[in-house]
A and B are shown apart, each in its own frame.
Chain A
């Protein structure tokens, strides 16, 4: 959910300042002029909102996209940006009884920022996807014009980092039945394949998730999370490499990790699976750490190229779900918990 309260640290619209530490550990910049030039740049990021519908029906959900557009050369951030900055956040001022879920972040990429800081984010504009559910009933709801203000805060970086915020308004009208918005639908359609899907929705994959806490006399403060996955159903025509992006922890640090091959021997009706595995190292965990809260996004890439692979969605694995196998056939899929 992304209904947030206020953000006391966010400065007034488009106020800007330098985030020094991104600069401090790098080769000396060519002089203060260079930095000031960066700061002179106006509006390094803008925001637009797109709706899948022009007319909504009370109680019937519809999709909305918030396009965050850093200017060329600037980049924004994923929700778990490692050393990088902060992800954009959207505050919706919804009418009473309305609900919003999301955001869905599109698949990010790994970047190295000045000072060898590892950042996970977006070098190009990116669309945050939300689902809005209007109230079930509204008095005199037909042909009611609704304006939903939204407040977006963002941070974008180039050689310096800037916080900013934008206001936007979603304008829609109520009706007996939903009617599409061609521009909004086209935008959402264009981005549709770039969102990772939950493991339970990625059909034909088998998972094996294991948590190895380090020996400890008290509460667990470190350990290793091993995520294994493989494709049981038909394979795509292109070779696939994977990247794994761990989701951030509230307290503690989770390592980056390289994806390696994994083989699972045939068992019962499941044939031998040749897949992938990744081991994340967790350190300095908080006392309230719970293994079940771990999650990561697994991103397939054809060869060395980046981007979606036909038949291979990016997948969100959650220790909580403990999904072991989702059969390739569509319909009522059998799900087995792995008991961990």
Chain B
């Protein structure tokens, strides 16, 4: 009887080990799906692995896009970056437009007073990996998981989905609107 009990305990332990391993591998998969390594306009390489403890925002952008420009003209993006930087939010704009250039993006950044990092993905590999389809198209990532993806805001009501998601993550809540349809 004692042998059987020990055997059962052993089985349970092995099972739990497998489950734990599965969870780990699932987490690793998710983290890998949200990992990136891209060059900034300063020539430095920025890796997601270096911002493990932060909330990362990837905001796909294009300097010539009529849906992006008003967000920068009115400083909606820049203000959000400034507000949340002290709260541990790392914001990256990503440009995956194959015909854009570092110089073109530098001009854009200068014109609109962009101080956060703008990353170049001109071959579109990271854009494709994330499924970025429009500009702006935003992804809010925490612990390797995309917790929000979609539009920067609701263009009619002005509700800012990215801000809402960040606030909820910082408050330890579930993201109430995890996905919206990006416009642009």
Kindly provide the distance from the CB of B147 to the nearest chain A CB, expressed in whole angstroms: 10
Tell whether, in the assembled complex, residue B65 and residue A20 are in contact, meaning their CB atoms are under 8 Å apart. Answer: yes
Contact flags B58-71 to A (C-beta < 8 A → 1, else 0):
00101011110111
Instruction: Give the residues in chain A near B65, CB-CB below 8 Å.
Output: 17-20
Tell whether, in the assembled complex, residue A28 and residue B98 are in contact, meaning their CB atoms are under 8 Å apart. Answer: yes
Q: How many A-B residue pairs have CB under 8 A?
A: 109
Tell whether, in the assembled complex, residue B100 and residue A117 are in contact, meaning their CB atoms are under 8 Å apart. Answer: no
Tell whether, in the assembled complex, residue B124 and residue A8 are in contact, meaning their CB atoms are under 8 Å apart. Answer: no
Contact flags B75-118 to A (C-beta < 8 A → 1, else 0):
00000000000000000000111111000000000000000000
A15 in the interface (beta carbon within 8 A): yes
Kindly provide the distance from the CB of A86 to the nearest chain B CB, expressed in whole angstroms: 6
Which B residues from 131 to 184 make CB contacts under 8 A with A? 132-135, 137, 155-156, 158, 174, 176-181, 183-184
Which A residues from 119 to 170 make CB contacts under 8 A with B? 162-163
* Bound-state Cα–Cα, A285 to B175, Å: 10
* Bound-state Cα–Cα, A172 to B127, Å: 50
Tell whether, in the assembled complex, residue B156 and residue A7 are in contact, meaning their CB atoms are under 8 Å apart. Answer: yes
Instruction: Give the residues in chain A near B47, CB-CB below 8 Å.
Output: none
A112 in the interface (beta carbon within 8 A): no
- Interface size (A, Cβ < 8 Å)? 42
Kindly provide the distance from the CB of B74 to the nearest chain A CB, expressed in whole angstroms: 8
* Bound-state Cα–Cα, A254 to B177, Å: 14
Tell whether, in the assembled complex, residue B134 and residue A21 are in contact, meaning their CB atoms are under 8 Å apart. Answer: yes
> Which size bracket describes the interface of B in this complex?
35 or more
Closest to B70 in A: A9
Instruction: Give the residues in chain A near B158, CB-CB below 8 Å.
Output: 8
Kindly provide the distance from the CB of B37 to the nearest chain A CB, expressed in whole angstroms: 18
* Bound-state Cα–Cα, A11 to B177, Å: 28
Which one of A5, A24, A253 contacts B98 once the chains associate, using CB atoms below 8 Å? Answer: A24
Which B residues from 6 to 22 make CB contacts under 8 A with A? none
Interchain residue pairs with CB less than 8 A apart (9): A5-B156, A9-B67, A9-B183, A15-B66, A86-B183, A250-B177, A251-B177, A251-B179, A286-B179
Q: Which residues of B contact A (CB under 8 A)?
A: 60, 62, 64-67, 69-71, 74, 95-100, 124, 127-128, 132-135, 137, 155-156, 158, 174, 176-181, 183-184
